[in-house]
Amino acid sequence: MHELGIVFHIIKEVKKAMQENNCSKVSKVVMNIGEVSTVVPYYLEDCWNWAVSKEEGFQGCKLEIKMLDAVTWCDDCKSEYPTVAHGKTCPHCGSGNTWLLRGNEVEILEIEAI
Amino acid sequence: MQIIHYLSARKLKIMEKVKVIEIKKSIFEENGREADELRAELKKKGVFLLNLMSSPGSGKTTTLIATINAIKDKIKVAVMEADIDSDVDAIKIKEATGIESIQLHTGGMCHLDAEMTRQGLDNLSEGLDLAILENVGNLVCPAEFDTGAVRNAMILSVPEGHDKPLKYPLMFSICDVVLINKTDVLPYFDFDMDKCREYIAMRNPAAKVFPICARTGEGVDSFANWLLEEVALWKN
């Protein structure tokens, strides 16, 4: 249950933001989730709904997930390509000298709170 | 009419109060900060923390016993065993090596974070040279949460296959050391050692690879010596 651990970390982070902004109830949390972040959105939502029902000030809080595409950079032919379709090998030149540019985000973008 | 007016006014008031707070922060950031703090404290105390990870059944506990027996006369070692439940591993280590060994329960969680590691360390005695954290058997989640360890090690056992670095890229990219365990069964599996080294290097060119057999003790000394050198470096 990888997603459950992540949910606990989100709640911890959101609580801190609520404290700093003198809020007592949160109604929405918006997340950026990268395509290759290893987080399964469906499980994340499931764990979220279970965890927020037990947390004061979080009851009914919605989780909005924005999926971000994964992009890899090839350092040999200096080009970008979609990670999921081609993995570690550059489809333009066949090089393995590549690294992930973006797509592994697990990020809290913003929250709506009172 | 009056009631309707009252309700909409109240609703408007609530709408005005709702704040949109921009956070834009990775959920690993806070844990990363706690891990850095823990490492700095360990440096001050001269305690080396090794985070050992692997799949379930790769031989973590047997490898630990063989390694600890090779170094326990030279440095003071203690072990923290993290599992979802039970204390069989902690008891096994204590009985086989005689060193201090405690069990951490993660309460269903699949990994340990920096805060949980700190709580575990607080329960160990003072004056340690080396604390080993045996993380939960899992190759996905422990790779994402920095525990505050000085070095990360993982065990890949021969029956798991040489292509594991391709399937769990993150785990291999964060490990300083990969132990390839159960080399005694190499003749029975289509395990390609060269390919395995190549795949590990693809994920992490700096990773050290030690083929070992924890059961017979073969190759354990090379790993034990590496560990002793690392501990000595950390204490300088």
- CATH number, position B197: 3.40.50.300
Asked, for residue B49, whether it belongs to a domain, the answer is yes
Which residue matches tokens 């279970």? Answer: A50
d(CA A32, CA B216): 48
Nearest to A110 among B20, B27, B110 (CB): B20
Asked, for residue B60, whether it belongs to a domain, the answer is yes
Interface test with A, best of B14, B17, B19, B106 (most A CBs within 10 A): B19
Q: Are A13 and B31 in contact (CB < 8 Å)?
A: no
- The topology under which CATH files domain A2-113 is hypothetical protein PF0899 fold (3.30.2320)
pLDDT value at B14 more than 80 = no
> What's the confidence (pLDDT) of residue B41?
96
Asked, for residue B12, whether it belongs to a domain, the answer is no
- Closest of B144, B132, B173, B139 to residue B155, by C-alpha: B139
CB B188, CB B87: distance < 8 Å: no
> Could you tell me the residue range of the domain that residue B84 belongs to?
31-235
pLDDT digits (tens, 9 = 90+) for B192-219: 999 999 999 988 889 999 999 999 999 9
* B24 part of contact set with chain A, CB < 8 Å: yes
Q: Residue B16: closest CA among chain A residues belongs to which residue? A: A114
Give A88 or B1, the one with higher predicted confidence: A88
> What's the confidence (pLDDT) of residue B86?
75
| Alpha helices (H) in B99-189, listed in sequence order | 114-122, 164-167, 169-174
State how far residue A26 is from chain B, nearest Cα, in angstroms. Answer: 9
Give A81 or B1, the one with higher predicted confidence: A81
> What's the confidence (pLDDT) of residue B66?
96
| Alpha helices (H) in A21-80, listed in sequence order | 41-52
pLDDT digits (tens, 9 = 90+) for B128-175: 999 999 988 888 777 888 999 999 999 999 999 999 988 888 888 899
Give B152 or B12, the one with higher predicted confidence: B152
Tokens of B174: 């964060």
Total tally of structural domains belonging to chain B = 1
> What's the confidence (pLDDT) of residue A1?
53
Q: ipTM, 2 decimals?
A: 0.80
Q: Are A108 and B19 in contact (CB < 8 Å)?
A: no
d(CA A107, CA A67): 11
For A15, the enclosing helix (H) or strand (E) is helix A2-20
Q: Are A107 and B17 in contact (CB < 8 Å)?
A: no
Asked, for residue B226, whether it belongs to a domain, the answer is yes
> What's the confidence (pLDDT) of residue B15?
56
Q: What single-letter DSSP state applies at residue B125?
A: P
> What's the confidence (pLDDT) of residue B130?
97
Q: Are A112 and B141 in contact (CB < 8 Å)?
A: no
Nearest to B23 among A13, A27, A88 (CB): A13
> What's the confidence (pLDDT) of residue B16?
58
d(CA A87, CA B214): 34
* A4 part of contact set with chain B, CB < 8 Å: yes
* B6 part of contact set with chain A, CB < 8 Å: no
For B198, the enclosing helix (H) or strand (E) is helix B193-203
> What's the confidence (pLDDT) of residue B4?
41
pLDDT digits (tens, 9 = 90+) for B97-136: 999 999 988 777 777 889 889 999 999 999 999 999 998 8
* A89 part of contact set with chain B, CB < 8 Å: no
State how far residue B147 is from chain A, nearest Cα, in angstroms. Answer: 14
d(CA B59, CA B213): 9
Which ranges of chain A have pLDDT less than 70? 1
> What's the confidence (pLDDT) of residue B3?
45
> What's the confidence (pLDDT) of residue B106?
78
Give A66 or B19, the one with higher predicted confidence: A66
> What's the confidence (pLDDT) of residue B6?
44
Place B2 in a pLDDT band, splitting at 50, 70 and 90: very low
d(CA B222, CA B200): 19
